[in-house]
Amino acid sequence: MSRLDQTNDKSIAALPWWRGASIYQIYPRSFMDSNGDGIGDLPGITQKLDHVASLGVDAIWVSPFFTSPMKDFGYDVADYCGVDPIFGTLEDFDALIERAHALDLKVLIDQVYSHTSDEHPWFTESRSSKHNDKADWYVWADAKPDGSPPTNWQSVFGGPSWTWDARRGQYYLHNFLSSQPQINGHNPDVQNALLDVARFWLDRGVDGFRIDALNFMMHDPQLRDNPPAPATNKQKTRPFDFQLRIHNQSHPDIPDFIARIRDVTDQYDAIFTVAEVGGDEAEAEMKAFTADGTHLNSAYGFNFLYADALTPGLICAAQAEWPDQADIGWPSWAFENHDAPRALSRWCAPGHRAAFARMKMLLLASLRGNAILYYGEELGLTQVDIPFDQLHDPEAIANWPLTLSRDGARTPMPWSADANHGGFTEGEPWLPVGALNQSAAVDQQESDQTSLLNYTRAVLALRNATPALRHGSVQRCKHEGDLLEMTREAGGQKVRCLFNMGPHEVEADPDDSRAILFATDGSSPSKLGPYGAVLIEETPCA
C-alpha cells in the first residue's frame, strides 16, 4: 500500500467537512435499547457512539425520534420539537449531541416537511372548521358533484390519496398513510413554521438535516388529474404505480422554499443539508434542489436502493449524472437504508456474500459523492424474513406479499452473538434479530482482523486519507462485462479503481508496475477474483 499523504492543494483543504463525508444512518428503534422495553432509544445510541466513531465516519444521521403515534414509525410527526417518550427526552438528545461532538462526529437529523401526523395540533385545528387560523395549512378540497375525491391521485401506500373528513365536509390530501395529512407547502405561514422548527434543532447543536420526501411538499393547486403511466415490463404492485405523478408532487415552486431553508442554515456554521428525492424525474429534481450554491448541499436518490442488481453500467450511469461542474450539486449515495431491502440479500447469492460485501464497501467508498452507510452494513447484515403476523410496516401489510417488508431491513443491531436478542435489549425486541445476523454481531467481528467490520474501518481510513477518493472528480468510468474501471483524480493524485462485479474471475490490466493502493484478497491489477477489487495509485500525492 503506497503512502497516503494528504495533498497540499489549497482548494481541497478549503472544502467543507461534508464534501466527501461518510455518514452513518441510525434507525433509533433498532440500534440499542437502554431500558429493556424492546425499542431502541436515544440513550442507547449515545452508549454505542464509540463503535460508530471507530469506523472512521464523519457524521451520524438519526432517523426520526420526534413525538409521534408511530403509525409510520416516526415519519408521522405530532410534535416537530418534541422527543417521543419511547426514545427518551430532549435532555437525552442534548447528551447525544454532546457525546457525538466529543467524538468528533457531526449529527444530522431528519426533517419531515411534506406531511405531519393527523394528531399534530396544526391538523387538529385545521380540520375543526373551514375558518380558523390554520384552515389553509393543509390541502383541503371539495368533493366532486358525485361525492368522489377531487382528483385521481393515488397514495404511495395504496389507495386514493384523499380521505373524507366530516368535520370540514371536505377531503384532505395524503400522499402516504391517511394518518399523514399533506401540509400546504405553498402557504408562507407553513413555511415560516417549518423554518422555525429548523432553527429549534440548529440552536440545540445539530449539524444538518436529511429532509424527507421533499418533492412531495407542494401539490398542483389546480388539482389536475395525473395521466396514466405508459406500459413497461416492471410489475405494478400499487395503484400509485399506474400514474405519472406530475401533479401531486414535484411542483416547480419547491426550490424557492429550499432557498429559504438555505438562508436559515447559512446563519449557522458548517451545516449540511441533503434531500431525499425519489420518483420518475429524480435526477432533474436533485439538481434543482442543489443548484447554484443557494439551495441544499446535496441530494440522494434511489439509483441503488431499489436496483435489482449492482452492475458496472448502473455505477457509470449514476456517476455520469453528477459531473464535476460548478453549477452541478454534490451527490450522496446509499446502497441500503430503512426503506429498502438489505443489499446483500438483493444483489448476490448467499455463497458469495463475504466477497461481495467487501467489494460493495470499497465501491461505495470509491464513488464521487458522500457515502451513506446504514447501521449494520459494516457487519454485513442481511434481510430478515418477517412473518405476516409479526409485521409492523404498513406498506408491507397493505401490499403483502408483493413487496419486501421494510421491517426486514429494520431489525435490531446485533452487539453480542451469545447474548439474548444479540445484546440489543434485555426485553422482547420489537422485531426479531434474526439468527444469521446475530452470528455476525459486533463482538464476534471486533477481535477478528479479517472481519467485514475491520475491513470497513480500513476502507474508510483509505477514503479519508486519499483526496482523489474523498473529493476527486471522475475522469473516466467505463465497463465491459462484469469489469468496472473508474479513475478518480484530485490535487495531483490519480487513483484507478478496478472492480469485478461478477462471481467469476476476470482479466483486467496486465501492467503490475504501478503502486497498489488497496486490494481485496486474491486480486491483482492483472486478475480480479470473484467480486474482487484493486485500487491503483497512478500518480502519488505530491
Task: Write out the catalytic residue numbers.
Answer: 212, 276
> In this structure, are residues 241 and 229 in contact, taking their beta carbons and an 8 Å threshold?
yes
Phi and psi angles of residue 120, each rounded to the nearest 5 degrees, phi first? -70, 140
**Cα distance between residue 155 and residue 174, in whole Å:** 7
Single-letter residue type at 37: D
Handedness of CA 371, 372, 377, 383 (dihedral sign): negative
Single-letter residue type at 126: S
| CB-neighbour burial class of residue 469 (10 A; exposed 0-12, middle 13-18, buried 19+) | buried
Measured CA distances, 54 to 360, 499, 534 (Å): 20, 26, 24
- Count the alpha carbons within 13 Å of 147 in the hemisphere toward its beta carbon: 2
The three cell numbers locating residue 180: 399523514
DSSP E strand boundaries for 262-338: 272-276, 298-300, 330-334
Closest among 65, 62, 60, 63 to 103, alpha carbons compared = 60
> In this structure, are residues 172 and 165 in contact, taking their beta carbons and an 8 Å threshold?
yes
The three cell numbers locating residue 130: 373551514
Residue 29 sits at the vertex; the CA angle it makes with 24 and 32, to the nearest 5 degrees, is 70
Burial 1-10 (b: 16+ CB within 10 A, else e): ebebeebebe
Residue 542 burial (CB count, 10 A):
10
Sheet with 533-539, strands from edge to edge, namely 473-480, 483-490, 493-500, 533-539, 515-519
The three cell numbers locating residue 33: 435499547
**Cα distance between residue 128 and residue 505, in whole Å:** 66
**Cα distance between residue 179 and residue 118, in whole Å:** 5
Single-letter residue type at 319: Q
Burial 21-43 (b: 16+ CB within 10 A, else e): bbbbbbbbbbbbbbeeebbbbbb
> In this structure, are residues 184 and 190 in contact, taking their beta carbons and an 8 Å threshold?
yes
